[in-house]
Amino acid sequence: MTEMTNMTLEQASELAQQLKTEIGKAVIGQKQVIHETLIALIAGGNVLIEGVPGLGKTLLVRALAATFSGQFNRIQFTPDLMPADVTGHTLYDLDNKSFSVRKGPVFTNLLLADEINRAPAKTQSALLEVMQERQVTIEGEAHPVPLPFMTLATQNPLEQEGTYPLPEAQLDRFLLKIYINYPRDNEESLMVAAVTNKQTGNQLNISNVSAVATPATIQAMQALAADIEVDKSVIEYAVRIVQATRDWQGLSIGSGPRGSIALISAARAQAMLHARDYITPDDIKAIALPALRHRVALAPEMELEGYSTDQILQGILDKIEAPRQ
């Protein structure tokens, strides 16, 4: 395990590669998903993962937690889940004759909010504070959550019956929305072989993932990423993209300023993963789809014609002038 809180950019990039390798031991394939999740972790953001069940979302989060010996909690969102089940509550202690706080599952490093759209808005909103402020208020008292903190919420694109679509305000809090797809043929064969080898039952096997970092190292990486230089022209490029989403034909709702902020902070993490201490327009372009796809809404006619948000966003990226001096 590496205990480095004062690291160089190269060390941080190397460590990120190690994290990827370790996660890759448990999660076979899905390289893009792992890459984007790491970006979100380093940028200190939250991710919304969309994909059909059984593609290894839980495994990904557990493996990620194992790589830096972080705490991991999982909440299965159901229609009867209450906000207090998520955040925690106070309880009257008869012995001490006082109220004691029982912290909920959000007090962890990595929180997997499974099928977040199955719970009503009230419960979903319980996550808003912790996602934004990194603290939970119980009975008027703010309790900070352990850092680094990241929420990984998942939702299923197929079953819409009895679900509560996430409100825009909450969607905006996610740094990235990641699509997880079916694995490729060869990856699936490898995965089946790995999962069934010397295994009874179908519990997730993360025994071969070793911890290569600590929560403190991750925080150091986050601090390093936040320090990466950004040129004015690159910020302007990000803002141009986000502004274009607001009056683009084919989009009924454009992204707010959080979109530009997300673009820049995710691009910083992307640059750090490539051991660069500055970001380029390429970083913005590479991260634009996951950073913006949940912040815009397709116009109904485009939806009827079968266009996806990604296609429209790609169209914007193809039209917006890249910075040149």
For other proteins (CB under 8 A), the number of binding residues is 28
Specify whether the CB–CB gap between 12 and 272 falls below 8 A. Answer: yes
Nearer to other proteins, 29 or 250 (CB): 250
Q: Considering the rule CB under 8 A, would residue 321 count as an interface residue with other proteins?
A: yes
Q: Where does this chain touch other proteins (CB under 8 A) — which range of 94-102, 120-128, 134-142, 280-288?
A: 280-288
Specify whether the CB–CB gap between 156 and 115 falls below 8 A. Answer: yes
Token digits of residue 317: 């990226």
Site string for other proteins, 284-303 (x = CB under 8 A): xx---------------x--
Q: Considering the rule CB under 8 A, would residue 306 count as an interface residue with other proteins?
A: no
Specify whether the CB–CB gap between 67 and 22 falls below 8 A. Answer: yes
Which residue in 231, 239, 243, 256 binds other proteins (CB under 8 A)?
A: 231
Phi, psi angle pair for 88, to nearest 5°:
115, 175
* Closest approach of other proteins to the CB of residue 285, in Å: 6
What is the Rg, in whole angstroms, of the alpha carbon atoms belonging to the chain? 20
Specify whether the CB–CB gap between 147 and 215 falls below 8 A. Answer: yes
Which residue in 60, 234, 289, 292 binds other proteins (CB under 8 A)?
A: 234
Q: Where does this chain touch other proteins (CB under 8 A) — which range of 44-52, 53-61, 107-115, 282-290?
A: 282-290
* Closest approach of other proteins to the CB of residue 227, in Å: 13
Q: Considering the rule CB under 8 A, would residue 10 count as an interface residue with other proteins?
A: no
Q: Where does this chain touch other proteins (CB under 8 A) — which range of 66-74, 102-110, 213-221, 317-325?
A: 317-325
Q: Considering the rule CB under 8 A, would residue 246 count as an interface residue with other proteins?
A: no
Specify whether the CB–CB gap between 143 and 103 falls below 8 A. Answer: yes
Q: Considering the rule CB under 8 A, would residue 159 count as an interface residue with other proteins?
A: no
Specify whether the CB–CB gap between 129 and 136 falls below 8 A. Answer: yes
Which residues on adjacent β-strands are paired with residue 113? 75, 153
Which residue in 56, 104, 148, 250 binds other proteins (CB under 8 A)?
A: 250
Q: Where does this chain touch other proteins (CB under 8 A) — which range of 61-69, 98-106, 212-220, 231-239?
A: 231-239
Q: Considering the rule CB under 8 A, would residue 118 count as an interface residue with other proteins?
A: no
Which residues on adjacent β-strands are paired with residue 99? 92
Distance CA 291, CA 275 (A): 21
Phi, psi angle pair for 52, to nearest 5°:
-70, 160
Specify whether the CB–CB gap between 213 and 1 falls below 8 A. Answer: yes
Neighbours of 93 (CB within 10 A): 11
Footprint on this chain of other proteins (rule: CB under 8 A): 229-231, 233-234, 249-250, 276-282, 284-285, 301, 304-305, 317-325
